[in-house]
Amino acid sequence: MADKYLVTGGAGFIGSNVVDELLRRGYLVRVIDNFSTGRRSNLDHLRGEVEIVEGDIRSYERVHNAVRGVDYVIHEAALPSVPRSVQDPLTTNDVNVTGTLNVLLSARDEGVKRVVFASSSSVYGANPALPKLEDLQPMPLSPYGVAKLAGEQYCMAFFHVYGLETVPLRYFNVFGPRQDPASEYSAVIPRFMRMMHAGQAPTVFGDGMQTRDFTHVSNVVQATCDAAMREGAAGEIMNVAYGRSHTLRDLVAIMATALGCQVGPVYAPARAGDVRDSYADVTKARELLGYEPLVSLEDGIRSMAESVVSPSEDATP
């Protein structure tokens, strides 16, 4: 019988893409989500193929019931967004730290083979070294980064103390299909895409020369699913990124070209908690997971633009 996976946050942007890939690989999948940021529509095309548990990871009982009977856990559930964490650090901690601890405890108690944890490049924070290597000292600037670092450390403690196989993956600025552009806390690419398509100038916080390693979700999904199975990955923290940096000014220019518009950015003061530069070394993931990012920022933006600009709009003079 095929192995069974639990994907926490499986109705979310990354989680639902992970669910698709696991099913494509022939595994059984259960999802737990409270649908606070995840959307039911992300799983509508999988009705009958996925077991859905509605619940909050802050409840140990709910998480334990969801974990029971699965072989692997991919822990994507989180309260995302650096700005949100600055405004509400308590809830960010409850979801991202206590929730993660509930997942690890449940996995330990139910004899799960391995937990893959979605961490974040935000743990590097103020550390100026580039590219970001996994052995750099973490210096998180935001409560979100602190919470993700705490989750990593819990993973490592459970690996060393209880023998639970864990693999924390530090995602870098993930973008792609199903990313919600409407939220106040939505990531920069879907928000900019929606605004520029409407002819509105996107707001860049800071001078626009800050850099990010934008990573298409298909690259992240591949690494995440492989991390659950690969020998030698347990107990290892790895970057998952494209391995190339772009300034936010570059990003706006790439998006303008893809959308066929002339919209430029407007600038506002930098936000508290935002990292200045981010660029990953992905050598470790390449060596341990066989990871090779296939979709570039340019290709990913082009694909997103094609889905935003409908054929009827293209034909409008």
Structural tokens at position 53: 């548990």
Nearest to 177 by CA among 12, 9, 13, 8: 13
Catalytic residue at 154?
A: no
The strand pair at 203-205 and 266-268 is best described as parallel
CA 65 remoteness from chain centre: 24
Q: Which of 72, 144, 171, 242 is catalytic?
A: 144
Omega before residue 131 within 30° of 0, cis: yes
Nearest to 117 by CA among 77, 146, 86: 77
The DSSP call for residue 121 is: G
H-only helix segments in the chain: 13-24, 60-67, 82-87, 89-93, 99-109, 143-157, 188-197, 217-227, 248-259, 283-289, 297-308, 311-314
- CA separation for the pair 72, 152 (Å, rounded): 17
- CA separation for the pair 11, 19 (Å, rounded): 9
Q: Point out the residues that are catalytic.
A: 144
